Amino acid sequence: MGVHAFIVPIRDLNTLQTLPGIEIHDCGHKVGLNGVDNGALRFRSVRIPRDNLLNRFGDVSQDGKYTSSLPTINKRFAAMLGELVGGRVGLAYASVGFLKISVTIAVRYSLLRQQFGPPEQPEVSILDYQSQQHKLMPMLASSYAFHFATQYLVQKYSEMKKMHDEQLVADVHALSAGLKAYVTSYTAKSLSTCREACGGHGYAAVNRFGSLRNDHDIFQTFEGDNTVLMQQVAADLLRQYKDKFQGGTLSVTWNYLRESMNTYLSQPNPIIARWESADHLRDPKFQLDAFRSLILSLSSLQSLSKLCTIVLMQEVELL
């Protein structure tokens, strides 16, 4: 009937010894996150009461009849895996915290560290060098972007838990998968870059780059391997692309023209587009229009080809 969750006692409440048929193994010392007690459980012919079934998605009556609000095994399996979404939301948010810490350390060091400068003049902060700025400023900007993006993700996840809307569940699943994969991969690379930006001093344990890197590295593979999560995002994008072409040829063409005209009419006229004032450039609507223009200028066929290749590779691996 698919994958289901049960509550299984593992220790005697009086002696705290493991119950018959249950084995517990510790994972041992890890590269990082040793404050987290990871282990493995093995069950051999363990029987539990029917009442131990967590029956939100499926139940078994006293006479052994199985019922479920979800019609297929695949849907039940997806519902169980959907509980991983909360973990992905937390990982994306925590990864931003790692990025903030490392960027703060590197920027502060770069402001205080002075080296070289014009002849017969005081040395200058290494943050004044363009090479150092090119390393750190994009990460600083990304920290702000990821902060607001993960806050939005947490908000949508909270709405999903309250409403149980199927479309919202699908959107949060794709968004959490994409953000978790992208943010954690970005932060993993940034931790090394921040360490390098601090030179030899960055290798000192007191700067925490080593412990931060070790504790964060696992973020890329637990609660879903980043490669697999990106494939899930690609599959969702292909689904949305397919939905755009549902219906007859005339209705599809009409919807495309309508959306295109709405986008065209919302664009600023040539005079406004050349405004360079701070208020205009910081206007969220202008920035959103700029991103839309960038996306529309990309090769749609090339992007779709890459997405199809990723999904097909996943299907081949499953076969």
Residues forming the active site: 223
Backbone phi, psi, residue 18, to 5°: -65, 140
Q: Which helix (H) or strand (E) holds 23?
A: strand 22-26
Query: What 3-state DSSP class applies to 262?
Result: helix
Closest by Cα among 231, 230, 83, 264 to 160: 83
CB-CB contact of 189 with 220 (8 Å) = no
| Count of other CB atoms within 10 angstroms of residue 194 | 28
Specify which residues 59 forms β-bridges with.
Answer: 67
Half-sphere exposure of 54 (CA within 13 A, CB side): 10
249-266 and 284-297 helices, crossing angle to 10°: 130
CA distance 310 to 158: 31
Three-state secondary structure call for residue 11: strand
